[in-house]
Amino acid sequence: MRFNFKKKNRELPLTVGGIAIFSRDWGLEKDGKRKPFDQVVMDMPIGSGAYKIGPVNFGKDISYVRDVNHWGKDLNVNRGQANFDKITIKIYKDNTARLEGLKAGEFDFMQFYSAGDWARRVSGKRFDDGRLKKGEFKHRLPTGFQSYIFNTRRDKFQDTRVREAIGMAMDFNWMSRQMFYGLYTRVNGLFGNTDCQATSLPSAQELALLEPWRGKIPEAAFGPMTSPPNTDGQDRLRENLRQAMALLKDAGYTVKNGKMTNAKGEPLVIELLDSSEAGSRTHSAMVRNLAKIGIEMRMRVVDFALYQTRLKKFDYDMVIMAFPGTHTPGQEYADVFGSKAADTEDSGNYAGLKNPAVDDLIAKMVGAQSKADLLPACKAFERVIAHSHIFIPQWSATQHNVAYAGQKLAYKEPMPPYAKADDWLLNTWWAKPQAETK
């Protein structure tokens, strides 16, 4: 199969290479007619991987069986991989049921994303006798940018000072101590833990990219990179809230009868839209801090279908999104930050950002032909986004927290630094001989 590209784009070959290619015979019936694509879900796909689909219980589990005749099993690049004869992935609709299933021995491996679960609830008889083990594996994956997102299409979020002030009410240091057990680090910017991450003052190359847009991007982008508000110390939160009050005053807000109001007398009320109540405890700290400066934040939890509809139509004040990180940013950022995407329903531009400078910097990233061209464009881009305060950065984990059947599964250390936990398990772990597990 051959692809011809109309213009130079360093990432297009990688993008195209990652697209799944399906056999034209998938869904072909005996009479030669083809089923519509949305009707072949029950038919086994024709693939070329090391595993074939085995038994399937829809909504419960799916199994993959190793193909002993796999054409690539003896290639050097595949040695040491695909070591399990059968892999079954179980589906649980409830996190509590999944955790209890692990403790009961219903499956052998589980990755944890909740600091509370990992610190307090991963325990029991099977952990005590060694049948289950806890593993903490440090990685060097990009942090991504999980964040609260302002919908700047709303009038109340048009002013950068208002957005920055609201962000100063987040007390990550307190949350880390009281809720996260020190397992997370604060996110700052878009490209944390990568070479694209902006730090300190912009370089000469970055300034050359930023200077043509002076006046159309935050002036702060020409100075030091943003740093999340710190509350590690006596009265630090109080000082942050004072700065927030000053920013709001500059933006035309005053406190009347305990409520932060604009020049029209309208109180500043924020609705945080979510599809689950699981994060309510986490958000409560910010709700309390905002109340101290007269801002009301309300949690609005809706069912998932309505949540998706409101996302598509950009019908919200604030939402929470976890964007994956990357070492090679490119065209995908046009959907998240591009001006055209801001007006396109169901796009990824949840913040509604529209700025020709941002469009230009994305084009510079996409068009970069070398790392020396890419890095200044990435860093300049990150500075503009960070100083626009369209996000309130949240947190990221620097390690994979996993529980696994220690008497059944084995692996080779160290873990590859850029590996995802489940990929590492499925690709390179193996089952111990039965004699060792007895």
pTM of the model: 0.88
Query: pLDDT, tens digit, for every residue of 93-138?
Result: 888 999 999 999 999 999 999 999 999 999 999 999 999 999 999 9
Residues 6+ apart with CB under 8 A from 4: none
**Domain span including residue 98:** 24-140+398-437
| Same domain, residue pair 118 and 255 | no
Instruction: Report d(CA 382, CA 60) in Å as an integer.
Output: 42
Residue 427's CATH number:
3.40.190.10
Please choose, from the candidates 339, 364, 356, 353, the residue with its C-alpha nearest in 3D space to the C-alpha of residue 386: 353
| Same domain, residue pair 252 and 302 | yes
Structure confidence at residue 12 (pLDDT): 83
**Does a structural domain hold residue 30?**
yes
| Same domain, residue pair 411 and 342 | no
Which residue is listed with tokens 């529980």?
403
**Does a structural domain hold residue 6?**
no
Q: Which of 364, 381, 396 lies at the terminal end of a domain, its last residue?
A: 396
**Does a structural domain hold residue 4?**
no
Annotate 60-85 with b (16+ C-beta within 10 A) or e (fewer): eebbbebbeebeeeeeeeeeeebebe
Residues 6+ apart with CB under 8 A from 355: 216, 217, 339, 384, 388
Structure confidence at residue 122 (pLDDT): 95
| Same domain, residue pair 294 and 382 | yes
| Same domain, residue pair 132 and 80 | yes
Beta strands in 28-125, from DSSP E residues, in sequence order: 51-57, 61-66, 86-90, 109-112
| Same domain, residue pair 184 and 302 | yes
| Same domain, residue pair 350 and 244 | yes
| Same domain, residue pair 392 and 402 | no
**Does a structural domain hold residue 235?**
yes
Burial label, 438 (beta-carbon count in 10 A; 0-12, 13-18, 19+) = exposed
Instruction: Please calculate the CA angle 359-365-371 and round it to the nearest 5 degrees.
Output: 165
**Does a structural domain hold residue 15?**
no
**Does a structural domain hold residue 10?**
no
| Same domain, residue pair 69 and 171 | no
| Same domain, residue pair 261 and 159 | yes
Please choose, from the candidates 115, 205, 147, the residue with its C-alpha nearest in 3D space to the C-alpha of residue 399: 115
**Does a structural domain hold residue 247?**
yes
Mean pLDDT, 10 residues at a time, the chain of 438 residues: 82 83 85 87 85 92 95 94 96 92 96 93 95 96 96 97 97 93 94 95 98 97 94 84 97 96 96 90 94 96 96 97 92 96 96 98 93 96 98 95 96 94 96 70
| Same domain, residue pair 31 and 122 | yes
Tokens of 398: 């620097």
**Does a structural domain hold residue 11?**
no
| Same domain, residue pair 347 and 405 | no
What does the DSSP 8-state code read for residue 398?
A: S
Residue 172's CATH number:
3.10.105.10
What value does the mean pLDDT of the chain take? 93
Which residue is listed with tokens 């307190």?
174
Instruction: Report d(CA 188, CA 144) in Å as an integer.
Output: 9
Q: DSSP per residue over 326-348, as a string? A: -SS--THHHHHH-HHHHTSTT-S
**Structural domains of the chain, count:** 2
Instruction: Report d(CA 206, CA 194) in Å as an integer.
Output: 17
Instruction: Report d(CA 312, CA 187) in Å as an integer.
Output: 26
Structure confidence at residue 436 (pLDDT): 55
